Amino acid sequence: MTIHIPLPHRRRTSFAESFLLMGTVVTIRVVGEGGAHRMRDAIDRAIQAMRSVEETLTRFDEGSALRRLSRSAGVLTSVPPMLFHALKVAVEVASMTDGAFDPTVGRRLEELGFNRHYLTGDTVDSDFLDSQSVSFRDITLVDEDLQVRLEKPMGLDLGAIAKGLAVDLAARELNGWEGFAIDAGGDIYVSGVDPHGGLWQVGIENPLDARSLLGRIKVTNKAVCTSGSYKRQSPKHPQIHHLLNARTGEPAQGLISCTVVGPQAMMADVVATAAFLLGPDRALPFIEEMGLSGLCVTDELEMRETTGLGAIGDE
């Protein structure tokens, strides 16, 4: 997805900055008054908020809270609020999808070659036993004390939640500006007005041709998040993508991409991933059951959208 700004009528002051985070280029643009210095400070605070999510929820750093928890099977462990919240959402969505979506696929992702840190190049190789013998049902959450017990050894992956959560926390840091946009690869959040005083235009990427779009939607105060099989392929098996149906341990089939629009990036992100894993027959009903709207592209290049998505403009 991309953010498109039409030709100007009256240009507002704006400032943008890009940086590398969570394996993608993140661009934040702020619109309003106050000068580039204040805008840069606001963006720096947003970046720090996003980095805190990566540092806590990454499975590529042995010192992260997520990795420490993964090594603590059988022990009731106190975890940071951010990790507890992300795990709770992941377990709830796993239950709703009867385990098609499941945060315990980390070890299987490692086996398929999705185990290299995007910055350092270091690989993560866990020594957990049979990765397919565990599921979200083996995760016990104690709300009162923010404690977690993993009933079996398991590799946890919260990639479908972490980036959306990072976008939401960055948006919180940018509240108060006339407008802003956060573009984190497949996860976008826009607020207020664009640099020309209108609604933001978010492009829906053509999954088969990155140079073209399926169309654009005009939104504000919304997240637009996409999950797709074209985003990441295994370095060991180029025909295998990273979106695994946890019930089979294999890449989900039937869809090329799912885009979800909602008020928060974390929920739009995880619902887009879960819908993709559910396949073409269940994807749109699931999105609507979650109170969100969206668009899915099947393997046959058929575009299917929910009734509440709104108009999609031509490229």
pLDDT single digits (tens) 84-113: 999 999 999 999 999 999 999 888 888 776
| 227 contacts 272 by C-beta, under 8 angstroms | yes
Q: In which band, very low, low, confident or very high, does the pLDDT at 238 lie, cut at 50, 70 and 90?
A: low
Q: Give tens-digit pLDDT for 205-229.
A: 888 887 888 888 999 999 999 988 7
Using N-to-C axis directions, what is the helix angle for 159-174 and 81-96, rounded to 10°? 130
Answer yes or no: are the C-beta atoms of 59 and 22 closer than 8 Å. Answer: no
Q: Which amino acid is at 220?
A: T
Residue with tokens 């008020």: 263
pLDDT confidence band for 310 (50 / 70 / 90):
low
- Report d(CA 69, CA 151) in Å as an integer: 12
9 compared with 263, residue with greater pLDDT: 263
Q: Where in the chain is the domain with CATH 1.10.3980.10?
A: 59-160
Q: What average pLDDT does the segment 281-301 reach?
A: 94
pLDDT at position 45 over 60: yes
| pTM across the whole model | 0.90
Q: At 183, give phi and psi (nearest 5°).
A: -120, 105
Q: Are 164 and 268 in contact (CB under 8 A)?
A: yes
Pairing of strands 187-192, 179-184: antiparallel
CATH fold of 59-160, please? T-fold (1.10.3980)
The mean of the pLDDT values for the chain is 87
Tell me which architecture the domain covering 2-55+166-305 has in CATH. Answer: Roll (3.10)
Where does CATH 3.10.520.10 sit in the chain? 2-55+166-305
- Of 25-34, 96-105, 191-200, 303-312, the least confident: 303-312
Burial readout 74-101 (b: 16 or more C-beta within 10 A, e: otherwise): eeebebeebbbebbebbbebbebbebbb
